[in-house]
Structure 1
Amino acid sequence: MHFQHITVAGSGVLGSQIAFQTAFKGFKVSVYDINDEAIGKAKGRFRELMKRYQEDLGASEEEVRAAYERISFYTDLAEAVREADLVIEAVPEVREIKTEFYKKLGQYAPKKTVFATNTSTMLPSQFAEATGRPEKFLALHFANEIWLHNMAEVMKHSGTDEKVFEAVIDFARAIGMVPLPLHKEQPGYILNSLLVPFLDAAQSLYIRGIADPEIIDKTWMIATGSPKGPFAIMDVVGINTVYNIVSAKAKAGDEEARKLAEKLKKEFIDRGKLGVATGEGFYCYPHPKYEQPDFLKG
């Protein structure tokens, strides 16, 4: 099983990154989104990615231009998947939207086409039946800024064909990722199964008044050699995302989460401090304290 033509469905932040990285590694890529406005925004993201690849990877102008020229754009799903060997779905994290998308995709895609979901919060078995081809369906999850954080979690469900699983692992490697196979379904995959409890522990220390974010981050960085502590990571993830997760726990009756949600809303979100994206969160950017040479000193 050899993939040549890749379709990325959904051209948001991560969808655009997946598409560009795949094109950069020499594959023909079709990008699908629901309307011309969404496609227009995607083209803007690709222009920014071209700059980042030159800055971060030392790619040449010719290399990034060639990658962009390997990308085609569609608002017609049937046209977008007409030649697809693999469709990577990166549509919004709403179960109904994904289910409806897979029902349509199953009608339009050739029988050979493998489907992969990039969901970070749901399991492939939730959509396997809707695809109409459960044996050719699995999860392929990337981290943000995939050209730098080049991991790809490949997770099958109980009905995934082993050859499909191996083919997607090979594809992940071909686009410059380190493939991380998961042989059983796991909510949160590997990364978030490790990361979420870590961030929860840091938030608990903070909201209970044990220590402030800088001290908690400093503790972790000195003890482990990590370049970032948990609150620096939350700034990268985005305070909105952290707030949404904490709010869900608060609604379920978690009193500590309720206090934290109120604090995040009042002191961060209402003041536009959403993390790296807005220039301020727990730290100020682009030169946060934790990157300064004296941060880890007494």
Structure 2
Amino acid sequence: GSRIAFQSAYCGFESTILLRSEASIERAKAKIDVLRDIYLKTMEEMKTDKNAYCRGFSKEKDLTNDQIDELKARVEKAYKEIILTTDYDEACKDADLIIESIAEDPKQKTEIYQKLAKHMIEK
């Protein structure tokens, strides 16, 4: 889920990750830190190695160093703006799309959908 949320934030969407506990928030932060570092490292490599290009970063394959620096700024913006919360109301407010990515356990999935339904507004 953290990869989906980070890529969505990188693409300019407001992204909130709903977690089940404060401990989960700390684990998610660590994953997002790693993603940020991977994105930035790969983008830096793109400056000298055109084979390092990743489609998810830009539609354009041949980027100038200045354009790559702009992409790196988008990474930093996404990193700063992504929200981690345990609060269903905060996570669901104004949401246009909710993506569930918990373990493949039918009981857990049913529980999360029932909880989400109480906090989602009809659009």
Match of 2:117 in 1: 106
2: CA distance, partners of 1:44 / 1:107: 30
Corresponding letter in the other structure for 1:23 = A
TM superposition score normalised by structure 1: 0.32
5 Å matches for 1:5-154?
Answer: 15-58=1-44, 60=69, 61-112=72-123
TM superposition score normalised by structure 2: 0.73
**Offset, 1:62:** 2.5
1: CA distance, partners of 2:93 / 2:86: 13
Identity %: 36
C-alpha RMSD over aligned residues:
1.4
Report the secondary structure of 2:15's partner residue: strand
Corresponding letter in the other structure for 1:101 = I
5 Å matches for 1:205-220?
Answer: none
Report the secondary structure of 1:28's partner residue: coil
Bigger share in strand: 1
Corresponding letter in the other structure for 2:81 = R
Bigger share in helix: 2
2: CA distance, partners of 1:88 / 1:36: 20
Report the secondary structure of 2:98's partner residue: strand
Report the secondary structure of 2:118's partner residue: helix
Unpaired segments ≥5 residues, structure 1: 1-14, 113-298
> Stretches of 4+ moved more than 2 A in 1?
55-63
Report the secondary structure of 2:121's partner residue: coil
RCO (CA 8 Å, sep 6+): is it higher in 1 or 2?
A: 2
Report the secondary structure of 2:20's partner residue: coil
Count of equivalent residues: 98
Unpaired segments ≥5 residues, structure 2: 45-67
1: CA distance, partners of 2:74 / 2:114: 37
**Offset, 1:93:** 0.9
**Offset, 1:55:** 2.2
2: CA distance, partners of 1:41 / 1:110: 29
